[in-house]
Structure 1
Amino acid sequence: MNRSRFSMLVLEPGEIYFEDFSCIMNTQESKTLGQVRNGHLKLCSKSLVFEPTEWIYPLTKFHFKDCCDISIVKPMYENDIKNVIKVNIKQYSEMLEQNIVAPYKFKYENKDFYFFFDFASAEECLYQMQQLQRASTLHAPEHNSMVATILHSRYMRMVFDPVMMEDFTEEIICELQVEKISPLVRHQGKLALTPSTLYFQPFSNIENSPIFKLKMEKMRKIYKRRFLLRQVGLEIYGGEESTVSHIYLTFPCEEDRDRIYRILEESPYVQLDRVHVEEMTLQWQNGIVSNYDYLIYLNCLADRSKNDLTQYPVFPWVVADYSSEKLDLTNSDTFRDLSKPMGALNPERLEKLKERYNEMNEPKFLYGSHYSAPGLVLFYLVRKYPRYMLCLQNGKFDHPDRMFNSVRDVYNNCLNNMSDFKELVPEFYDTSAKADFLVNKHEIDFGERYDGSKVNNVTLPPWASSPEEFVSTLREALESDFVSRHLHLWIDLIFGYKQRGEEAVKANNVFHHVCYEGSVDLERVYDMNDRHALEVQIMEFGQVPKQLFTKPHVRKVTPQIPKLLSQGGSEFRPVQIKCIDTIRLHKEAVTCVLRQGSKIISVGKDGTLKVYDLGQGKQMRSVVLCSTPLSSCVMVDEHTVAAGSWDNEIYLYNVEYGRVVESFRAHDDSVSCLLWLIKERLLISGGWDGVVRVWGSVGKIGQALRGLKAEFDHDGKITAVTYRYRRFELDIITGTSDGEVFIWDFTSKELMNKVRIHSSPVCGVSLVLSGDSIVTTSEDGDVYVTDLSVLHSVYHKRMSAAMLSLCWDGCSTLWLGGSAGTLMQWNMITVTQVDQQNAHNDSITSLHLDVDSKTLISASKDKTVKIWQLIQSS
């Protein structure tokens, strides 16, 4: 349970929290009789909120505008309790009783509440409360102005505290008043910038941490942001390994924001990952970046952020069929016309809208509501973020019949309703989030519909049997050939040249002028009432994304990964395979196999290493290396094999002389995988201790431990390891039990990047194509192709069984060994399966390709090793 139930989300959007006071609350003038509750009284700009210490009691909220009187209780006798404030109120609300998220309970009764302060002075508290109570009687613009004055006065008294800094002797080169932004919440505080670190110190104690630190060397992306149509925002992303990976700040003015941006950009410590829009567009056009990831990128570039509900990322409706039993992604009728905005899809409705448009005075608008606004975003996400909706709608959910109850009903409403033109949010296509926004996982009582049914999970179309399948199918539709051929047309409407001006009029894509960037300069609106009205309209109506393109957007050429230049355009020819030998030597599962000349070397769970000579057709060596299973083996020279063991050791065994040359403790837990780099003569080992080690003196007796060249630490167990050459640099690539892939620079020993690809342990990692992509497999059957240059997965396939082993031929063919004993051949140019064999009776644990003999060796849990001859098709 959270330390505190109070959060900024129990306040109105934009309301300011100042401080809290330890006290006792009662409805009687007594500390011992009646409903005595210990807790804290929160002083906020529009209300008082009492949070009881015991979570079974609700939080009680008192709006200043509903307070009839706030006064100090004067003791009648000298021994009476002092330091007490009485609040007389005509109505109040209760929330989070027993910590259950539910609509607020509004109590319409005149009542007295007594607050017995433990430490604070009642006189001092009363002055602040009465000041804010007076402000609550003013109209909204004057109220905001008065609160801003109070806040500014407090800010002037607040000094950045250097005690929390990494080094309090650091020179502060810049200190500014800022706000930290999260959905519906603005935390005031001080920003301090030193030559190496950005610090944010919250004004109040509401944040979990008294200070936020983001080292400049950890900063990877910095975006200027538009906040409420003002260019005052700055969003900073750190690397995944940094403590604070993200922060969104707004500044008093554009000049302050630009100053900080300039300092960060020019800092020698800041190494940004720069991907120009043209580069990203080209990668998307050629099929390197998926439609989903490209839309995420464009939203980010256009000032859309999940931290700002007024500018939440916008995604298109792509499927138009929500009634069929099965969705046919090869049929164009399945899809929505992406060349038109939602409001123009229904010709009859559009005609009525255009009639109204033609009768309007300038500035005209076709649509009276937007395709993305805070209320529309939370309409979709209320089950995932119920507290956001309660915050936005003053403690209430929407009427049960107006909620997101059915996908088909919502789509039909967007087609026919005269005021509903909304698009979708990324969650509809995000397969990693398990479709949680469609499920009432918090078991919230949203009320009953007109037919008596309770609002619960979202009703899905017939073609989806589960929320996960619904999102997965929509994602498949988003990446389909039809959408890939037409997505650029929708981009033109939302981010491109049809967004505004004459082209927008031609495309029937005109919204209210206030929602366009540059149409309103709030800095030049001096009348408080006018400015407040504009701010409310901007907040509630929605905002058009920043325009990214002024010319028609390029069309996607192909959804496939392009062919390698080295292939010279020659057609791919599948390889036929034929089993030429089956070896049965081990008493338990074979865990790893390799070929050296005519010798087949294997290790198994029985702790033995076997050497079989194909020429003589018999076993040449058999040695029990340890009493625990052996996990892996590699040749480190012509006669020496290195074997990794579950007893944390690496054993070096001379095949020619049949003896153990050396063994050494390599890890603090089982050795899980080995890799030998011939060129550098380096042995790389991964362990269940989460460490990858690089050994440089393997083969020199007694020197292995002294030859330790590098250590790379991970959070999860190491399950796979491979490598790549980046020009003249060597990178070590590792997969872990957390589903993550790490890329380490061997020269600098630094982590270059890490990316979470899978939700279950990685089984295998292999470099493919030009070396910029990797294939990864996992225990849940997922196979991903990930582009390392952009750290985006460009292809995903869910197999019927886990692919436990994989092997790349260096050209176009990928071999996959499955947990059901199936051996698959994939063409990675077209990303298609070209062959499948039922190779073993149990899991294929290891695959080894021997180029010289043109054979593929497979090892299995069924205790056998098989030799497959590769025959190139004519």
Structure 2
Amino acid sequence: MREEWTVIVYICQCVYVCFCSIEDPDQKIAMLTQILEFGQTPRQLFTTPHPQRITPRFHNLSATPSLSSSDFSPVSPSMESFEDLTEESKKMAWSNMNKLTLQSCHKLHKEAVTDIAVTLSGDFVFSTSQDSTLKMFSKDGALQRSTSFSNMALSSCLILPEDKIVVCSSWDNNVYFYSVAYGRRQDTLMGHDDAVSHICWRDDKLYTASWDSTVKIWECVAAEISDNKRTPFNLIAEFEHESGVNTLDLSPAGTLLATGTKEGTLTVWDITSPLPLNQLTCHSGKIHQVAFSPDSRHILSVGEDSCFAVTDVQTGMLISTVHAEEEQRCMCWDGSTVLSGGLSGELSVLNLLSSKVIHKIPAHSGAVSCMWMNEQCSSVITGGEDKQIILWKPQY
């Protein structure tokens, strides 16, 4: 009670000082009239920030089967205002992954699809193939661009920030930079002695994995590449392996690198050191894909030995191995649930905690060769050896 009276006395003092400082008689009368009519509010009532508003959580997400640009967008604009709901929406999407339904199917390539990338706006999809072509098509399947860089297969692709440049790796040992605005190849990186199998990008650095048994990190500024100028590619790190590198993945923080080789060896690297942090042979054959968990504590790998292997990042120990009914070629996971594509063309939803397949979804008529999932986990695109690209969406 004493504190409240103190505040009231303080407010009255402020009003009196302010009132006495006015010399114009008309302004004094006007201010007095305002005080008598409406009261007087001091300039500052609070000295500490107001508690953050608690936004109500969504209980139901849109169940419409139609696809919009935001469905493909890695970060949907509608979700930016609800950052506290991002994890909840991801959990909901993964809990409904067994209800994945086909939205559309497109056959644009003449050979197996090897990788898929989607623009930040979600308006266009890019795909690479063993037919050596890069295709660009809209979400309704209308082909917009088709280009070829060499006579050999393109192995993977990604889109640089601002959606201006598409980067493609090839079995001809090169990496190609394609300008979306100009519709042509803008630059070429010739940095390996064998096929470039996989690429990724983070903070103006390009990571290239190759069958020449190396992974290389190149410094190249995205803005400079987009300016239609020849860009100097500076090699800043190189990681040596005992056999060809088939796949790689960066941790969410971008500080660790995981690589998988043709001989089944998984290696974890600190990108600032040429020496591996941990290394183990967790598959009896080629590793098709490796992926960090969202918390960077574990790495999931799938190989031609039909196994899912979970490795602890800190210790480098194999935590668990789950044997699948068939060879798995590609996958996405949230740390406990896996969506994978197999040799027969089926998609499988696997619970790693129970080591059981929850659901199987008929997809391609040949092996599922690649998979893309947006950051919200609300849209999935798969490519197969049947030359088809299929768009999927979990139903709620």
Contact in 2 for aligned 1:738/1:762 (Cα 8 Å): yes
Instruction: Tell me the distance in 2 between the aligned counterparts of 1:698 and 1:645.
Output: 21
Instruction: Tell me the distance in 1 between the aligned counterparts of 2:147 and 2:339.
Output: 30
**1:688 pairs with one of 199, 211, 217:** 211
Instruction: Tell me the distance in 2 between the aligned counterparts of 1:722 and 1:672.
Output: 12
What is the deviation of 1:667?
0.9
2:301 equivalent to 1:776? yes
What is the deviation of 1:725?
5.3
What is the deviation of 1:791?
2.2
What is the deviation of 1:657?
2.6
Give the counterpart letter for 1:813 in structure 2.
Answer: T
Contact in 1 for aligned 2:126/2:137 (Cα 8 Å): yes
What is the deviation of 1:829?
4.8
Instruction: Tell me the distance in 2 between the aligned counterparts of 1:704 and 1:689.
Output: 22
The corresponding residue for 1:310 is none
**What secondary structure sits across from 2:251 in the alignment?**
strand
Instruction: Tell me the distance in 2 between the aligned counterparts of 1:698 and 1:864.
Output: 34
Contact in 2 for aligned 1:695/1:704 (Cα 8 Å): no
Q: Which has the higher helix share?
A: 1
**2:289 pairs with one of 764, 774, 781:** 764
- Equivalent positions of 1:839-850 (< 5 A) are 839-850=363-374
**What secondary structure sits across from 1:587 in the alignment?**
coil
The runs of 4+ residues in structure 1 deviating greater than 3 Å are 810-813, 827-832
2:392 equivalent to 1:865? no
- Equivalent positions of 1:431-830 (< 5 A) are 573-575=95-97, 576-596=99-119, 597-615=122-140, 617-637=141-161, 638-677=163-202, 680-697=203-220, 699=222, 700=225, 701-705=229-233, 707-724=234-251, 730-768=255-293, 770-808=295-333, 810=334, 812-830=336-354
Give the counterpart letter for 1:778 in structure 2.
Answer: G
Instruction: Tell me the distance in 2 between the aligned counterparts of 1:813 and 1:703.
Output: 41
- Equivalent positions of 1:29-40 (< 5 A) are none
- Equivalent positions of 1:111-190 (< 5 A) are none
Instruction: Tell me the distance in 1 between the aligned counterparts of 2:164 and 2:107.
Output: 23
What is the deviation of 1:830?
4.5
When the two chains are superposed, the root-mean-square deviation of aligned CA atoms in Å is: 2.1
What is the deviation of 1:852?
5.5
**Distance change in 2, residues 1:698/1:690 (3 Å):** farther
What is the deviation of 1:769?
5.5
What is the deviation of 1:813?
3.3
Give the counterpart letter for 1:600 in structure 2.
Answer: V
Give the counterpart letter for 1:606 in structure 2.
Answer: D
Instruction: Tell me the distance in 2 between the aligned counterparts of 1:585 and 1:800.
Output: 30
Instruction: Tell me the distance in 1 between the aligned counterparts of 2:189 and 2:319.
Output: 41
What is the deviation of 1:719?
0.9
* Identity across the alignment (%): 27
What is the deviation of 1:853?
8.3
The C-alpha deviation readout for 1:398-452, integer Å capped at 9, x for no partner, is xxxxxxxxxxxxxxxxxxxxxxxxxxxxxxxxxxxxxxxxxxxxxxxxxxxxxxx
**What secondary structure sits across from 1:748 in the alignment?**
coil
Instruction: Tell me the distance in 2 between the aligned counterparts of 1:725 and 1:853.
Output: 15
Q: Which runs of 5+ in 2 are unaligned?
A: 1-86
The C-alpha deviation readout for 1:84-138, integer Å capped at 9, x for no partner, is xxxxxxxxxxxxxxxxxxxxxxxxxxxxxxxxxxxxxxxxxxxxxxxxxxxxxxx
Higher relative contact order (CA 8 A, sep 6+): 2
Instruction: Tell me the distance in 1 between the aligned counterparts of 2:383 and 2:218.
Output: 26
The corresponding residue for 1:547 is none
Instruction: Tell me the distance in 2 between the aligned counterparts of 1:655 and 1:845.
Output: 25
The structure having more radius of gyration, on CA atoms, is 1
Instruction: Tell me the distance in 1 between the aligned counterparts of 2:139 and 2:390.
Output: 11
Contact in 1 for aligned 2:278/2:315 (Cα 8 Å): no
The C-alpha deviation readout for 1:241-279, integer Å capped at 9, x for no partner, is xxxxxxxxxxxxxxxxxxxxxxxxxxxxxxxxxxxxxxx
Q: Which has the higher strand share?
A: 2
Give the counterpart letter for 1:711 in structure 2.
Answer: E
The C-alpha deviation readout for 1:823-872, integer Å capped at 9, x for no partner, is 11223454432221121000111000023682100000100000001224
Could you tell me the TM-score, scaled by structure 1's length? 0.33
Contact in 2 for aligned 1:769/1:828 (Cα 8 Å): no
The C-alpha deviation readout for 1:463-506, integer Å capped at 9, x for no partner, is xxxxxxxxxxxxxxxxxxxxxxxxxxxxxxxxxxxxxxxxxxxx
Instruction: Tell me the distance in 2 between the aligned counterparts of 1:698 and 1:608.
Output: 25
The C-alpha deviation readout for 1:694-722, integer Å capped at 9, x for no partner, is 122054343242x2221101011101101
Contact in 2 for aligned 1:739/1:761 (Cα 8 Å): yes
Contact in 1 for aligned 2:104/2:390 (Cα 8 Å): yes
Give the counterpart letter for 1:783 in structure 2.
Answer: F
Instruction: Tell me the distance in 2 between the aligned counterparts of 1:659 and 1:805.
Output: 30
The C-alpha deviation readout for 1:296-318, integer Å capped at 9, x for no partner, is xxxxxxxxxxxxxxxxxxxxxxx
Contact in 2 for aligned 1:574/1:834 (Cα 8 Å): no
**Distance change in 2, residues 1:733/1:589 (3 Å):** same
The C-alpha deviation readout for 1:3-22, integer Å capped at 9, x for no partner, is xxxxxxxxxxxxxxxxxxxx
Instruction: Tell me the distance in 2 between the aligned counterparts of 1:861 and 1:657.
Output: 30
Contact in 1 for aligned 2:339/2:350 (Cα 8 Å): yes
Instruction: Tell me the distance in 1 between the aligned counterparts of 2:342 and 2:207.
Output: 25
Contact in 2 for aligned 1:698/1:704 (Cα 8 Å): no
Instruction: Tell me the distance in 2 between the aligned counterparts of 1:668 and 1:641.
Output: 22
Instruction: Tell me the distance in 2 between the aligned counterparts of 1:721 and 1:612.
Output: 26
Instruction: Tell me the distance in 1 between the aligned counterparts of 2:348 and 2:252.
Output: 27
What is the deviation of 1:761?
1.3
Give the counterpart letter for 1:641 in structure 2.
Answer: V
The C-alpha deviation readout for 1:354-397, integer Å capped at 9, x for no partner, is xxxxxxxxxxxxxxxxxxxxxxxxxxxxxxxxxxxxxxxxxxxx
Instruction: Tell me the distance in 2 between the aligned counterparts of 1:703 and 1:755.
Output: 37
Q: Which runs of 5+ in 1 are unaligned?
A: 1-565
